[in-house]
C-alpha cells in the first residue's frame, strides 16, 4: 500500500534566506515537493511502508533539514494517509468566484 504525507512546517524566529533555502533543498533531495501553499510539502512512500514508518521518516527528514540549515526552533504537522491530497486554486475576484467554488464542490 502506498502512503502519502502532507507536512507543514513553521520555522520560528528569524530564519535567513540561506537557511530556508538549505532546509528546502534537503527536503527536496528526499523527494518532498513544496506546494504553492506557503509551508506545505508533499511526499509519497513506497508500497511496503507503514503509516507509522512514514511518520517516523518524515520526522527524521524534517529534523535533518532543520539541522543542516542550522534551524533549532520549528513546529511541524504531518498527516499520513492512503489517498493523495486534493489541491485546488480559484483565481479571480469577480462575483462568479463563489459560484465557481461552490460548483466545484457540489
Residue 8: CB atoms within 10 A of its CB come to: 15
pLDDT score, position 66: 92
User: What tens digit of pLDDT does each residue of 4-49 get?
Assistant: 777 777 777 788 899 989 988 998 999 887 876 667 788 888 888 8
Q: Cell 528569524 maps to which residue? A: 14
pLDDT score, position 98: 60
* CATH architecture assigned to 4-105: 2-Layer Sandwich (3.30)
User: What tens digit of pLDDT does each residue of 54-96 get?
Assistant: 999 999 999 999 999 998 888 888 888 888 777 666 656 555 5
In whole angstroms, what is the distance from residue 62 CA to residue 83 CA? 22
CA 23 to the chain's CA centroid: 13
Amino acid at each position: 500500500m502506498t502512503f502519502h504525507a502532507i507536512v507543514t512546517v513553521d520555522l520560528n524566529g528569524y530564519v535567513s534566506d540561506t537557511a530556508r533555502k538549505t532546509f528546502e533543498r534537503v527536503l527536496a533531495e528526499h523527494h518532498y515537493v513544496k506546494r504553492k501553499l506557503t509551508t506545505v510539502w508533499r511526499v509519497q512512500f513506497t508500497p511496503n511502508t507503514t503509516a507509522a514508518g512514514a511518520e517516523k521518516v518524515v520526522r527524521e527528514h524534517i529534523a535533518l533539514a532543520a539541522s543542516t540549515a542550522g534551524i533549532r526552533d520549528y513546529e511541524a504537522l504531518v498527516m499520513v494517509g492512503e489517498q493523495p491530497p486534493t489541491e485546488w486554486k480559484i483565481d479571480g475576484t469577480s462575483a462568479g468566484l463563489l459560484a465557481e467554488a461552490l460548483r466545484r464542490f457540489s
